[in-house]
Amino acid sequence: MKPLKMQSFTISLFSILLLGVCHVSRATLASNKEKKATYIVHMSKPEMPASFEHHTHWYESSLKSVSDSAQMLYTYENAIHGFSTRLTLAEAKLLESQPGILSVMLELRYELHTTRTPEFLGLDKSADLLPQSDSVSEVIIGVLDTGVWPESKSFLDTGFGPVPSSWKGECESGTNFTTKNCNRKLIGARFFARGYEATLGPVDESKESKSPRDDDGHGTHTSSTAGGSSVADASLFGYAAGTARGMAARARVAVYKVCWVGGCFSSDILAAMDKAIDDGVNVLSMSLGGSMSYYYRDSVAIGAFAAMEKGIFVSCSAGNAGPSSYSLSNVAPWITTVGAGTLDRDFPAFVSLGNGKNYSGVSLYKGDAILPGKLLPFVYAGNASNATNGNLCMMGTLIPEQVAGKIVLCDRGVNPRVQKGAVVKAAGGIGMVLSNTDANDPKPTATILFEGTKVGIQPSPVVAAFSSRGPNSITPDILKPDMIAPGVNILAGWVGSAGPTGLATDGRRVEFNIISGTSMSCPHVSGLAALIKAAHPDWSPAAIKSALMTTAYVTYKNGNKLQDVATGKDSTPFDHGAGHVDPVSALNPGLVYDLTADDYLNFLCALNYSATEITSLARRKFTCDASKKYSVTDLNYPSFAVNFGSGGADVVIKHSRTLTNVGAPGTYKVLISLQSPGVKVAVEPETLSFRQANEKKSYTVTFTGSSMPADTNSFGRIEWSNGKQIVGSPIAVSWT
């Protein structure tokens, strides 16, 4: 450990900071081929034989043709056309060979990617620029997560008018939840467990509620971050004290519980998206991880495509697998992929060693009456254990006689940091330091100094180390993530059934909790999208995304570039995408890059998807025009990813774009900033003049590459400015 290097370790007695880990795995399927598993069956609805009066009758007939005993778990009407069911491997293969069957996909298991934010984003100082509360209250944010704790003050409906007439959803009853738990703020609540139960057995109602009720905390935190009502005097044990409010505090919230103790299953996720589309949500917020597979095999991407066609903005977390490259989730271009940055608020603490050295870190412990204020014995966990993994402070690995009354140094990894703190406490330790390295000092001593909540931390934001990074492993020519938003130490609503650590041994109960992850940054953008939708109800999801991206900032007020906490250096578009969101500017972006469903279908043609694969996404017959030349670089995306591969000199790649005027008439001039000996950039034309609203103007960017070493990256920006507004797009150039 290096003295005074921020975030080299985390200090904790009972650490509250939680990072959800994203991964996806195949739902359990035994080697025995007769073992049944859940499959999602995509049907080509236009191919339904005329002999069937309704498509569900056709689905049932198709299923019965391969299995007399199989039952449909769900039928899907909006997200896809099809159903989910339990089949053997042989039955699944037989079903997929039948006419009208587009694909039969094995179910996947997803997992969660687990206040001062409005002030940090400038929302408190720009009330006159924000849409009126009446228009915001017509916007409905749907959240797919672990459910909701309806008693949270974040869902009080004081001052709310009638539920929007466009709403067609329901408030479902179940364990510890009735229709009375919904109100004019929390207008809908559903739960989806058939896929989960088909694979893992019945929900254990002694451990979690088979209803929309949240027993975990994650869903309540994300939904209140996106659209929670304002709550004064909110804090966690006095930390982050102030008014907690969602990004769109006057928006309505509808929750869809799809995640359970055993994970989130794709058949349930698709069913929830299917209902949310039909219910009439305007925004879908999904803080869960998806598989890295082709879009036509990605359930979240497929459901999001259907939502996009209905005008629904879909925001997803980028994942917590950073700082590794190619670690992103949810990379479909019709999804807004959100990475995480810090706030200008921190909770500093310091370890002071007996040798006089000090190390900075973070803690959410207030320091009352535990530490005696003097140096205490400091022991490395690996030296106080007979277990090979004792250094990690795993349960049952510490020797109490060697830990009691001491501060214990635990290595990071494998088990949650809050569990490490609990293990030290159970063994009689008095404090825990979480570190990326070990210490070898003889007979060391230490104490911990706690400084509470500090604001005005600079530089801020910085890209969080855990935030997943690009490049985009599915389509390298589409730059991801799209943007970053606050995702570190976020205060939001919590449940009454779990302590702030989420550990079974934690008997404390709080109304608000502070946690971190791209799970937290995603609902920030979902709420901001709701604000923009309220201000511009006729804007498409692509226009809203464009507004957020082209107004995002990549430098601090002093002109320095955004930093990456993982490297201590400038962050890049592979880390922060277009930059950090600036919602006030996004309300009036001047110009937008718009896209329609057909534009995305042309993009799929450019990827050489087959007609069957495209139909799986489009839910209708679509055939690529054999006489037309399709190019991924023609997708009207608000960023530029240029891949020269291992090509030599004079490789030319052209990108075409079209800007739509959503502001006042004016003339915009282009500015290119990219300093690299390996590429030249030219924009034609260099000036765009707009005389009226919704007028469109096109331009072409030509990138001419030179030979460069493999794994070289260069970054820059293209900015259009009318003297008042800047419409910016990041550039990422790669040689592989």
Return the structure tokens found at 224. 């209140």
Q: How far apart are CA 302 and CA 15, in angstroms?
A: 38
Measure Cα distances from 241 to 129, 182, 458, 461, 492 in Å: 26, 28, 20, 20, 11
DSSP 677-733: TTEEEEEESSEEEE-STT-EEEEEEEEEE----TTEEEEEEEEEE-SS-EEEEEEEE
SS3 assignment, position 166:
coil
Q: Terminal CA-to-CA distance of the chain, rounded, Å? A: 34
**Whether residue 145 lies in the annotated active site:** yes
Residues β-bridged to residue 717: 673, 730
Return the structure tokens found at 130. 């924000």
Measure Cα distances from 585 to 233, 312, 339, 578, 581 in Å: 29, 22, 19, 14, 9
Return the structure tokens found at 716. 């820059």
514 and 489 in contact (C-beta within 8 Å)? yes
Measure Cα distances from 574 to 327, 517, 718, 734 in Å: 10, 18, 16, 11
Phi then psi for 52, rounded to 5 degrees? -100, 130
> Among residues 81, 218, 536, 580, which one is catalytic?
218
Measure Cα distances from 336 to 7, 316, 434 in Å: 28, 6, 34
Residues β-bridged to residue 109: 25, 265
**Whether residue 165 lies in the annotated active site:** no
Q: How far apart are CA 499 and CA 513, in angstroms?
A: 9
Q: How far apart are CA 256 and CA 290, in angstroms?
A: 17
> Among residues 317, 519, 714, 734, which one is catalytic?
519
Q: Which amino acid is at 330?
A: N
Return the structure tokens found at 24. 């996806």
What's the CA dihedral at 541, 593, 302, 283 to 10 degrees?
A: -20
Q: How far apart are CA 715 and CA 615, in angstroms?
A: 36
Measure Cα distances from 399 to 302, 406, 544 in Å: 51, 12, 56
Q: How far apart are CA 121 and CA 316, in angstroms?
A: 20
Q: In what order do the strands lie in the sheet with 72-76?
A: 72-76, 82-87, 37-43, 101-106
**Whether residue 42 lies in the annotated active site:** no
> Among residues 42, 44, 137, 145, which one is catalytic?
145
* Phi-psi map region of 336: left, alpha, beta (phi>0 left; psi -120 to 50 alpha): beta
Active site residues: 145, 218, 519
